[in-house]
Amino acid sequence: VLDEERAARVLESFARQGLMRHLGAGIVRLDHGFCAVAADRRPELTQQHGFIHAGVTSALMDTAGGYAALSTFSASDSVLTVDFTVNLLAPARGAQVIAEAAVVRTGRTLSVCTLEAFVLAYDGRRVHVATGRQTLIRLTDTSDQPPPEGERP
């Protein structure tokens, strides 16, 4: 289980992500080494066929993985994605997309997450739409905050 301090830290950091707010995304589950992020389908999130854009799905997968890793770190450490892969299994056609990330390896420097994404289809089924892998690096004693006043981000 995740202690309250770490949970608060993840939620506070997520709240600072302008993109997640802009996409209407929220953390829907958070545990030690696990994070799920979801967004409802809106016209603002679509590709040319009207389905949820793979760019939304992958942004949610990347973000979920970052917070899954951060949830295992001490409060003085920060996290950055090193790389990730996304395999699209089906069009994201439905009312909501949910990205789930689980830490499969955590080391002193690097973490690896499995990433999965699902849509809640119109008939109520949960459809597996994407699968991926993510490598992340721990930044020891590095702030998760924006650059100091006067420096442009």
Q: Which residues bind a copy of itself (CB under 8 A)?
A: 13-14, 16-19, 21-23, 42-51, 53-56, 58-60, 62-63, 80-91, 93, 104-105, 109-110, 112, 114, 122, 128, 131-133, 135, 137, 144-147, 152-153
Q: Which of 81, 79, 83, 73 is nearest to 139 (CA)?
A: 79
Residue 62, H or E segment = helix 54-70
Nearer to a copy of itself, 72 or 81 (CB): 81
Shortest distance, position 4 Cβ to a copy of itself, whole Å: 20
Shortest distance, position 1 Cβ to a copy of itself, whole Å: 23
Nearer to a copy of itself, 29 or 110 (CB): 110
Contacts of 6 (CB under 8 A, 6+ apart): 32, 70, 71, 73, 75
Nearer to a copy of itself, 1 or 62 (CB): 62
In single-letter form, the type of residue at position 145 comes to Q
Shortest distance, position 75 Cβ to a copy of itself, whole Å: 14
Nearer to a copy of itself, 1 or 67 (CB): 67
Beta strands in the chain (DSSP E): 25-31, 34-40, 78-88, 96-106, 110-120, 126-139
